[in-house]
Structure formats: C-alpha cells, structure tokens
Structure 1
Amino acid sequence: MERSDILAKVVSLAADELEADAAGLDESTEFKSLGADSFDLLELVTAFEDEFGSTLDDDSLQKIQTLGDAVDAIASALGA
C-alpha cells in the first residue's frame, strides 16, 4: 500500500473520530491540536488497526504525535 493511500485513510479516520475538517489535515497535524486526549488516541489506534488489519506495536504507539507519525507506524506494521 502506498504511503499516500495510508495518509488518506488516516486523515479520513482522524477527521471522523475527532470531528475535524479533513481538508485542513496533513502529515504535520498534531493530534493534540485537534483536541485529542489519550482516550481519543486509543480509539483512533483501534480504528487504524481495524482499517488496516494490522496491530501497531507499543514502541510505535509511544511515538505517535502527528498524522505523519501514525502513517509511519502503520506503514511499518504493514511492512510497506
């Protein structure tokens, strides 16, 4: 799966879960700036894992601060 495809899905899921405008989101967008708390991030990680059919490891989860970080973690989990 291409990085751009992963990013598009991450943006869509984040926009839906956090009620944000997808048009204003990119790889540098911080989840914190969208008002996400730790519970929101847990829900998002679950949504990412369901969408991509892969489990994100604990090391990757600790590093997720931005949409780009989430894309990196998913790409790594998918072996992309």
Structure 2
Amino acid sequence: MSLQIIQNEKGKPAGVFIPINEWKQMKAMYENLKIWEEPEQTEEEILNNIRQAVEEMKLIKAGKLKGRPLQELLDEL
C-alpha cells in the first residue's frame, strides 16, 4: 500500500492520503469503511449551494451580513 503521510505546519503527522484504487480495494474488503464516505452531491445540490453563496456575498457587500476570516474558511476544508 502506498500511503502518504500528511503533515501539519509544524511537521507533525496530521493525516493520511490513500490512493483511490487502494481505497476502493479496502472498501471491498472492509464493509465498515463505507460509512466514512460522504455521498456525492447532486447537480441540483451543487447549484443550490452556489446560489446560497452568491446571496451571502451580496449580503456581505451590502453590510447586512458579517464576512468570515479567510483562515476560518480554510480551516473548514
């Protein structure tokens, strides 16, 4: 298995990257792993999320909604 260790800004191990083919093999062998996957969004869900984001940006520009710091947004990823 060709795992890659993901490190944080201090060089400490923070996660693991598993190539997709190996992930698929693991899911086939271990049914419980499937619960860790989030279902893929439909096109309608994606478009609704984009519409919501555009509306939020309009409210932020109009001063009716407070924006969030960039670091907070990045931390969500």
Into which bin does the TM-score normalised by the smaller protein fall?
A: under 0.3
Relative contact order higher in (CA < 8 Å, ≥ 6 apart):
1
Pick the structure with more helix per residue: 1
Structure number with bigger Rg? 2
Pick the structure with more strand per residue: 2
**TM norm structure 1:** 0.24
